[in-house]
Amino acid sequence: MPQSLNDLARLLPPGVTLSGDAASGPILDIDHNGHRARVSLFGGHIFAWQPAGHDPVLWVSPGTKFDRQRSIRGGTPVCWPWFAVHPQHADWPMHGFVRNADWHLDAAEESNGAITLTLTPPPTDPENKYFPHPIRPKLNLTIGETLTITLTQTNTTNQPIEIGQAFHTYFQIGDISEIEITGLEQNPFIDKLEIANDGGHRPAEANPITISAEIDRIYRNLAGPISLNDRRLGRSIDITHSGATNAVVWNPWVEKTKQLGDMGPDDAYRSMMCIETGNVPPDGLILAPGEHHSLMTTYRVRR
């Protein structure tokens, strides 16, 4: 069940207000120093961020229904504790179960011109079906001129545990034909559209990424920053990270957009681009007993 509005209101600093309804559950609205954002407690999901002086950075599908019946299509879904389809249970929730759960707001603070929210998912999933381990992540969202998202977890068991995790961020773009992605030119990748052909393993390509068809790639050995350069909007979104092995580059193009059902109109793919950071198969995170890990990504907009 979502937190009560009274409990939430006691935690909120100036610049953070409550909205939402019985269907959507609580939504936190941030308007602080000209920086704006919206965070749903369903999924611990930031789905809007607009730093002062800039256009909106995150894309949300016009077909999304904020009814807590399925995850929000857009913004930054938190994928945990697996990524994509579960390897043994194809009928389990895509990208894990926490993005379809009501999260708890633990703290909300203002510091250095930014708002930081600390959230945790529920302590168990239904009947411990999906992940029968006493491990739950903690999510920190620091919202201001930049957006920093941090997911931390500690293996409190006496056995190693494999975890898949990612920030599945959808960026608002001017038009798919006028972007390029730089920073991944030296990284080999897995083409998920060609998995049937030698596992889809491909060597690094020397050129920036441009999009002219459906793309779904897992870039490996992630090291330096990534930039999404948008000619039409006249801006770049710089992505820095730590604790991440992979970047996933995804755009569904025409036919997949039609199949997904909640992407909005058939041409919705033209205004969005996903660049995800995390640790995903075949490079999932293996936490040793007692080991602590933080996945952190920061987004910054420059003209």
AA letter at 55: D
- H/E run at residue 259: helix 253-260
Beta bridge partners of 237: 228, 301
Report the alpha-carbon distance of residue 285 to residue 243 in Å, rounded.
Answer: 9
- 158, two tokens: 């006496």
Residues in the chain, total: 303
Residue 226 backbone phi and psi in degrees, to 5: -125, 145
Question: At 197, which amino acid appears?
Answer: N
CB count, 10 Å around CB of 22?
8
Q: Is 140 helix (H, G, I), strand (E, B) or coil?
A: strand
Residues with active-site annotation: 168, 276
54: closest CA among 147, 149, 125? Answer: 147
Q: Are 63 and 73 in contact (CB under 8 A)?
A: yes
Nearby residues of 268 by Cβ (< 8 Å), 6 or more positions away: 61, 62, 63, 257
